[in-house]
Amino acid sequence: MPLRVKGLPAPDASIAPAIFVCLPLAPMRTRAGQAQPFTQKPYRICPPGPRIPCEFFPPCLASRRARRIWFRRTAEGRSMDIQSVGIVGAGQMGSGIAHVFALAGFDVLMTDISEDSLAKALSQIDRNIERQVLRGKVAPEAKAAAMARIRTTLRLADTGPCDLIIEAATERETVKQAIFEDLLPHLKPHTILTSNTSSISITRLASRTDRPEKFMGFHFMNPVPVMQLVELIRGIATDAATYQTLLGVVEKLGKTAASAEDFPAFIVNRILMPMINEAVYTLYEGVGSVKSIDESLKLGANHPMGPLELADFIGLDTCLAIMNVLHDGLADTKYRPCPLLTKYVEAGWLGRKTERGFYDYRGPVPVPTR
């Protein structure tokens, strides 16, 4: 609803966008007189609509109060208050996401097709928060409150009433599309749909739903409680309100958002996965052993984990799926998945989650498998 501000002409729907075009030209000043830079990009937040020439505004914007009111109202009107979050998939990403949302005060409903996975996810979250309690990073009461905020269900439809849905299922487009199709009839009109996909086109996933403007890529890194970054990926139709809302959520989680354009594998995996794939080629061609490759990158490039150890940590099936998305989506042979990576996946040696990958985790210490 338009707000009447003294000194401004009677507002209508065409004025707020114009104000945003003008605001960066007239930065607000603090009481101490320092200019406060505007961080928003005006072309991102302006909805389509008629524009009023900038010269029209400077007299109206002379009042600091008028600028502040317009700024606050527009920002509030555009982002949504998220309280409940539905998480689809209780694997390592889904459980990590549930962990950080519950600690940040959101109500979490986690769903999976396997009761066993839900039970494992809950005990994993409990263990990981306990680790944070023991290191003095989380208060014991905060842990109890967070655990109480997490509910689980086997019925996907139960997550329908949530304000925000985060799909964190297997990295296969058909699986993700089937989940969104089943969810659609149960969603509230305001619900924002997101996918934690590491590589799949957000625009394509969104186009199969009834709300492409409320659909975004929401990509967390593993281990979610530790990694600071969240990639935000807008599809071609994602609206400004959805983007602003997710920016606010990331801030509430205490993490940092990086915006990526919707191209195969976005930013992190576009760079990380070819490096891991190259490490597998290095092994395949006999340039180094599992141990020497990992040690070289840890000691020679200061990586916290070697690339093969990291591949096991992420899951070799996920690494292969991302390489295939890069190879198909960018049609460049430099993204060809290494045949040895395919072989490990075909053997069912998927890394830590199956206790065997480039290392064998079944004994007291990981042992290289090559």
Which residues are identified as catalytic?
Answer: 198, 219, 231, 269
Query: C-beta of 227: minimal distance to ligand CAA in Å?
Result: 6
The residue (of 225 and 366) whose beta carbon lies closer to ligand CAA is 225
DSSP string, 119-154: HHHHHHHHHHHHHHHHTTSS-HHHHHHHHHHEEEES
Complex with ligand CAA: residue 159 or 318, whichever CB lies closer: 318
From candidates 74, 128, 159, 201, binder to ligand CAA by CB under 6 A:
128
Contact flag: residue 84 with ligand CAA (CB under 6 A)? no
In degrees, rounded to 5, the angle at the alpha carbon of residue 127 between the alpha carbons of residues 148 and 110 is 45
304 binds ligand CAA (CB under 6 A): yes
Q: Among 14-22, 46-54, 224-232, 235-243, which window interacts with ligand CAA (CB under 6 A)?
A: 224-232
Q: And the tokens for 80? A: 């949504």
Q: Is 170 in the site for ligand CAA (CB under 6 A)?
A: no
For residues 16 and 100, which CB has a smaller minimum distance to ligand CAA in the complex? 100
Q: How far is the CB of 318 from ligand CAA (least distance, A)?
A: 6
Distance CA 325, CA 347 (A): 21
194 binds ligand CAA (CB under 6 A): no
Kindly tell me which of 35 and 144 has the beta carbon lying closer to ligand CAA. Answer: 144
Query: How many Cα atoms are found within 13 Å in the side-chain-facing hemisphere of 159?
Result: 28
For ligand CAA, the nearest residue by Cβ is 198
Nearest distance, CB of residue 199 and ligand CAA, angstroms = 7
272 binding ligand CAA? (CB under 6 A)? yes
Minimum CB distance to ligand CAA, residue 22 (Å): 40
Structure tokens of 144? Answer: 């109890």
Type of residue numbered 197: T
Q: How far apart are CA 13 and CA 147, in angstroms?
A: 44
Q: Does 260 bind ligand CAA (CB under 6 A)?
A: no
Displacement of CA 342 from its chain's centroid (Å): 27
- Kindly give the residue spans of alpha helices, DSSP state H, lying in 63-189: 64-78, 92-103, 115-134, 140-149, 173-183
Residue 233 as a binder of ligand CAA (CB under 6 A): the answer is: no
Tell me which amino acid residue 36 is.
Q
35 DSSP 8-state letter: B
Amino acid letter for position 279? A
The residues that touch ligand CAA, with contacts defined as CB under 6 A, are 128, 131-132, 135, 198, 221-223, 225-227, 268-269, 272, 304-305, 310, 314, 318
